[in-house]
Structure 1
């Protein structure tokens, strides 16, 4: 108890010296906090992007082959994906996850629409096909085997309103709250819709679909983006039914268990019937452009952390040695009074621990405030360098289902939040620094003999 009391009293007796030590401790903890917050949060984002970009398979159209085939045959038309092929690819042992859906452009003349309805017919002709009558689409029907797995619902961008549920039957659907309000629709109501095409490929009239509303969803849109009511979510099976669709348009997302399995998965896909006019790849453009700058942020922050710790530890060692020299008479008095060396050492370590505890709390608070602007500055600098480089602009010529060689968005913001992991790491750093300062003080104090100290006093 005496040791603890004396340690507290020494903090006040030697205020100037202890304030200097506290200032050094505070700078180290604050800078370490900033570096660790930047590193941990950037590393988490990089891992998420790395996992997705290195394992997501892009199914691209090989435009060079398509162009060559079109030159040889004006009626050439690239083979479209089919349901059977997609299911075979989705069942591959090399995939950890497969997501696919089908989309149909549709009209529903009995429904009100946010934009004027164009009732006029027009003719459309695809390569190698006869002209067919079609209409301007009012709605996009998106068919999923499980609508709850659709990206807007998975990301939280869209949410079901109370009283509704995801479709269970083939003829059920989800509509937007805007569409529901315009047409006074509620769960349980039905409406008619049909493809924009009048006939199928054999010239037979396509049938209308009767859709039953199972639920209503609300979707959040980014600033400047228009509120849309034209997306209706329904079952996959319904939209591939030849009675209703001219030709299903499929969208796919395949995720490999291991990026090294890309070639094996590609061979399997071609054996299953994938046309040679498609190529399989991972999104290396987005990986190089978006992930590497974040990884560079991690490197910068960890180097900064080690520099701060190395310089800080060196200064603390020197300061601790000088402090003991100044306090050698005090140590001599304590030793001559019978205090053991171990207790003197404990008191010196305890004093460092008390100072460090206060600095740890203040350093975490200051570091958390500085972390966000530092993160924003580093991210802006790294991304500007990446976007100015040739990798993105020179590699986006190919087409894919997203329209470009990459449909991934760059990282524009990292939330620099203080996590429990960061607090734990800072506590560990504080304990190590306390141990270093205390150990140096104790070692220096132990070499002084009490009687010699007292005799040498001026």
Structure 2
């Protein structure tokens, strides 16, 4: 009889064992399919989170490390400012992953031509007119040196807008400035007007031309609690780095406080970090490349935990399921020892007997796969919802505990992180990639489960098989 027909008859004749094997293979397939579906969903959610946060990396001084070192040495107060020499980062700008670069600098200035906006908090002390250490000038304005205003996060997310004129870009004329519309109104200024600024560090002066008026939603929320008037968003100006350096530094050379790199693809962030550290001579014990990782981890923390758990499930189920299936087939082979021995004695090839066992198991596995495919979407989504809800709850409890003790990074940093929502929903999809992964794992499990037990029996000759009593 053809070994294919024997396989079919064997499946029908052994209904009980066929059903048990079908259930085992269905459970294995469902868990493995759910595991892969969850991992793929977590990967997609992570990519979406990166896109939402933006594919930007900021080069700046590692403030946290500075504070830790000062505390360890017993020092107190604010760490010394460390400027970035633009010549040290020129090579980073040339990397393939970089789409655009924004060099950022900051300084303060006064003016004899215009007066700053004074809020209630400023008038209550510490701001304009407040006491300053001897030899230091009370600033009126904050000057933000930029390469291109349109690359600022506040500009791209709509917090900062241009209401008249144009934004400061690389095409702007020399000695151009963008000021707040409220400051312009208070001083009867408009686009095209000029005024003089004096640096508080060098006391050099420069006459700048207004090319745009801005409006910031931070003005209404921040002005009430900032004691220093020059920090009020309405008293902040945007000016080109070259112009800023020409009158605010002794040598007139550009040194910036941070550099923001916009990348072509969010997935290239880690690659960019490694390449940037390799090509730049900067002291990486002092500086760091921040890709907004704290915010990213807050968003994707729960889903990464779920993905990690699902990966462990895939490994565990594959190994445990394979062992259980191998044991079941071993018992089945031993029960069919007489059948195998007679067939071998009649001249049947060992390869065909092995093929019969494989066909029987793969046929049952195919039915199990169809059941898994039919119920996979519902099963994987149910598992995802349960696991994600548990991780979100645990993450919320952990944050509450940290907040109760002040939390890491200070109050301001914690407030920023608190405003970033966690990903609390994740949708699984059963695509062809996931199905192929399940088929590959399932086929390997079935093949090894059949091969190992049957080899132990079929390596013997027919007489040994028939005379063996165990």
Q: TM-score range by the shorter chain?
A: 0.5 to 0.7
**Alpha-carbon deviation of 1:242?**
1.2
Q: Confirm or deny: 8 A CA contact 2:29 2:438 kept in the other structure.
A: yes
- Equivalent of 1:363 in 372, 378, 389: 372
**Alpha-carbon deviation of 1:392?**
6.5
CA RMSD of aligned residues (A): 5.4
**Alpha-carbon deviation of 1:57?**
2.6
- Equivalent of 2:383 in 371, 374, 386: 374
Q: Confirm or deny: 8 A CA contact 1:7 1:350 kept in the other structure.
A: yes
The number of residue pairs the alignment matches comes to 332
Q: Confirm or deny: 8 A CA contact 2:93 2:101 kept in the other structure.
A: no
Stretches of structure 1 that go unaligned for 5 or more consecutive residues are 66-84, 102-122, 132-141, 153-169, 173-193, 209-239, 269-278
Residue matched to 1:345 = 354
Residue matched to 1:258 = 273
Alignment partner of 1:96 is 2:98 = yes
Residue matched to 1:57 = 58
Residue matched to 2:322 = 313
**Alpha-carbon deviation of 1:93?**
4.9
The alignment partner of 2:184 has SS state of coil
**Distance change >3 Å, CA 445–CA 259, structure 1 → 2:** closer
The alignment partner of 2:58 has SS state of strand
- What is the CA–CA distance in structure 1 between the aligned matches of 2:5 and 2:391, rounded to whole Å? 51
Q: Confirm or deny: 8 A CA contact 1:332 1:448 kept in the other structure.
A: no
Residue matched to 1:326 = 335
- What is the CA–CA distance in structure 1 between the aligned matches of 2:461 and 2:279, rounded to whole Å? 75
Residue matched to 2:4 = 4
Alignment partner of 1:242 is 2:226 = no
**Alpha-carbon deviation of 1:455?**
7.7
**Distance change >3 Å, CA 59–CA 145, structure 1 → 2:** closer
**Alpha-carbon deviation of 1:448?**
5.6
**Alpha-carbon deviation of 1:429?**
1.0
**Alpha-carbon deviation of 1:332?**
3.1
Residue matched to 1:37 = 37
**Alpha-carbon deviation of 1:145?**
7.8
Deviations 1:250-283, CA, capped at 9 Å, x for gaps = 9996456207958998979xxxxxxxxxx98553
- What is the CA–CA distance in structure 1 between the aligned matches of 2:325 and 2:92, rounded to whole Å? 61
Alignment partner of 1:199 is 2:184 = yes
Alignment partner of 1:435 is 2:444 = no
**Distance change >3 Å, CA 373–CA 58, structure 1 → 2:** farther
Residue matched to 1:409 = 421
**Distance change >3 Å, CA 347–CA 124, structure 1 → 2:** same
Residue matched to 1:297 = 306
- What is the CA–CA distance in structure 2 between the aligned matches of 1:361 and 1:57, rounded to whole Å? 49
**Alpha-carbon deviation of 1:302?**
1.9
**Alpha-carbon deviation of 1:431?**
1.0
Q: Confirm or deny: 8 A CA contact 2:92 2:279 kept in the other structure.
A: no
Deviations 1:319-371, CA, capped at 9 Å, x for gaps = 11111122223223323332112211111111111111111222233233211
**Distance change >3 Å, CA 254–CA 386, structure 1 → 2:** farther
Residue matched to 1:232 = none
More helix by share: 2
Q: Confirm or deny: 8 A CA contact 1:36 1:305 kept in the other structure.
A: yes
**Distance change >3 Å, CA 195–CA 288, structure 1 → 2:** closer
Q: TM-score, normalised by structure 2?
A: 0.54
Matches for 1:52-131 after TM superposition, within 5 Å: 56-57=57-58, 92-93=93-94, 96-98=98-100, 128=128
Q: Confirm or deny: 8 A CA contact 2:298 2:417 kept in the other structure.
A: no
Q: Confirm or deny: 8 A CA contact 2:58 2:259 kept in the other structure.
A: no
Q: Confirm or deny: 8 A CA contact 1:41 1:415 kept in the other structure.
A: yes
The alignment partner of 1:418 has SS state of coil
**Distance change >3 Å, CA 373–CA 290, structure 1 → 2:** same
Q: Confirm or deny: 8 A CA contact 1:324 1:444 kept in the other structure.
A: no
**Alpha-carbon deviation of 1:26?**
1.1
Deviations 1:126-171, CA, capped at 9 Å, x for gaps = 754999xxxxxxxxxx97489xx9569xxxxxxxxxxxxxxxxx98
- What is the CA–CA distance in structure 2 between the aligned matches of 1:377 and 1:286, rounded to whole Å? 24
Q: Confirm or deny: 8 A CA contact 1:38 1:298 kept in the other structure.
A: yes
**Distance change >3 Å, CA 241–CA 30, structure 1 → 2:** farther
- What is the CA–CA distance in structure 2 between the aligned matches of 1:44 and 1:408, rounded to whole Å? 19
Q: Confirm or deny: 8 A CA contact 2:91 2:280 kept in the other structure.
A: no
Q: Confirm or deny: 8 A CA contact 1:7 1:348 kept in the other structure.
A: yes
Q: Confirm or deny: 8 A CA contact 2:330 2:454 kept in the other structure.
A: no
**Alpha-carbon deviation of 1:17?**
1.6
- Equivalent of 1:423 in 435, 440, 445: 435
- What is the CA–CA distance in structure 2 between the aligned matches of 1:93 and 1:399, rounded to whole Å? 34
- What is the CA–CA distance in structure 2 between the aligned matches of 1:437 and 1:456, rounded to whole Å? 22
Q: Confirm or deny: 8 A CA contact 1:294 1:379 kept in the other structure.
A: yes
**Alpha-carbon deviation of 1:197?**
3.4
Residue matched to 2:114 = none
Q: Confirm or deny: 8 A CA contact 2:306 2:387 kept in the other structure.
A: yes
- What is the CA–CA distance in structure 2 between the aligned matches of 1:332 and 1:365, rounded to whole Å? 40
